Amino acid sequence: MRGGVIDTDGCAGETLLRAFAESTQTKVVFDAIQPMSLLSENLLPKHWETLYRALLARDLTQYDGIVITHGSDTLPYTSAAFGFLLCGLQKPVVFVASNRGIGEPGSNGLENFTAAVQFVQNAGLPGVFAVFKDNREHMTVYLGTRLLEADYMEDQYHSYAGIDFGEMIGGRFFPCAHDKNPDAKALFALPKRVLAAEVRFQRPVFYIVPHPGLDYALFALEATRPAAILHGLYHSSTACVEPEAHSLAAFAAKCARMGIDLYLYDCRHMTDPGIYRTCKRLLASGAQTLSGISREAALAKLLVAYHQEVLSPREYMRKDCWFEYII
């Protein structure tokens, strides 16, 4: 931070590695690269392309694991995207962020980075994870596809459905016992499905938040032609269906006419024994339904789904690729 303004620092990586070397007696050999340097709030899908190509350009078999430093704001989206992009890599990929700059009072950046290195060394589990110390002094380990955005009041991360993957204590990994968490056998059994290095995010995907008075005329679909749209629902899996200018059902019909896939999120209450009349309208609209997946993972997965050729996008969205679904 300079003059009260927080910005990127091209020397931050060197500072972090130097601080790590000074804080531990464990010998660790790093092969450090810096594909980009930006404030994470400025991150775009094209930056995922840059990072993805930089990783696949290396011979990853020579490493025990990969630690990726990232800004805190968009960390859940990137960790989810790379959970899909690197699915089945058979190496641990651990994302870390920091609440403050390295060396600043109260910063947990060095602790998070150290815990990530220890996770690679001691847990040895393949897949994409994130590690971050919370305000209760717990060094939580998250599945990359289940990390939620930090909350506004306390700036704390949480896991989707409240199910953390584990915790680092004294440099050792302790898994959280839960039937919705994959065990080591499930992680190692996942077949390798790393996508081609030429993934290009060429068409936009966007998320619409429902709120009273939402006017769908504001969305110029003819001009933007998104690959797909993720549309949130209220907690009862409902949304406005009348009058037409504010009707999600009418908007879904327009998307269908234009050949734009519309996904509704979260639809878990649409399978209840009794559902709202609005739910019934939405189910009849032809929109795709999603449930049991976080908003962050759903948005990242849509971007990947519509820019890969392994499966059709709808099939890809229905498939549990990296433990993102909790049903």
pLDDT tens per residue, range 289-320: 999 999 999 999 999 999 988 889 999 999 99
Residues 24, 96, single domain; the answer is yes
Place of tokens 């020579």: 62
**92 contacts: CB under 8 Å, gap ≥ 6:** 64, 65, 66, 119, 120, 123, 124, 125, 126, 127, 129
User: Residue 271 belongs to a domain with what CATH number?
Assistant: 3.40.50.40
Q: How far is CA 52 from the centre of its chain?
A: 14
Residues 135, 277, single domain; the answer is no
User: Residue 91 belongs to a domain with what CATH number?
Assistant: 3.40.50.1170
**Domain annotation covers residue 194:** no
145-176 pLDDT, tens digit each: 999 999 999 889 999 999 999 999 999 999 99
Q: CA-based angle 188:190:191, to the nearest 5?
A: 120
Domain boundary pick from 189, 224, 245: 189
Residues 183, 230, single domain; the answer is no
**Domain annotation covers residue 302:** yes
66-78 pLDDT, tens digit each: 999 999 999 999 9
Residue 17, token pair as written in the block: 């590695």
**Domain annotation covers residue 130:** yes
**Does residue 1 register a pLDDT over 60?**
no
Beta strands (DSSP E) in the chain are 66-69, 92-96, 127-133, 139-143, 166-169, 172-175, 205-208, 228-232, 261-265, 288-290
User: What is the spatial distance between Cα 263 and Cα 265, in angstroms, rounded to a whole number?
Assistant: 7
Residues 20, 168, single domain; the answer is yes
Domain boundary pick from 159, 189, 219: 189
191-218 pLDDT, tens digit each: 876 565 568 899 999 999 999 999 999 9
Residues 158, 236, single domain; the answer is no
**206 contacts: CB under 8 Å, gap ≥ 6:** 226, 229, 230
Residues 137, 213, single domain; the answer is no
Residues 165, 217, single domain; the answer is no
Which phi-psi region, left, alpha or beta, contains residue 69 (left: φ > 0; alpha: ψ -120 to 50)? Answer: beta
Domain region containing 41: 12-189
Our count of domains for the chain comes to 2
**Domain annotation covers residue 313:** yes
Domain boundary pick from 149, 165, 189: 189
Residues 98, 183, single domain; the answer is yes
Q: DSSP states of 7-46 as a string?
A: ---TTHHHHHHHHHHHH--S--------S----GGG--HH
Q: How confident is the model at residue 2 (pLDDT cuts 50, 70, 90)?
A: low
Residues 173, 231, single domain; the answer is no
Q: What Cα–Cα distance (Å) separates residue 57 from each residue in 51, 70, 197? A: 10, 20, 9
Query: Residue 209 corresponds to which amino acid?
Result: V
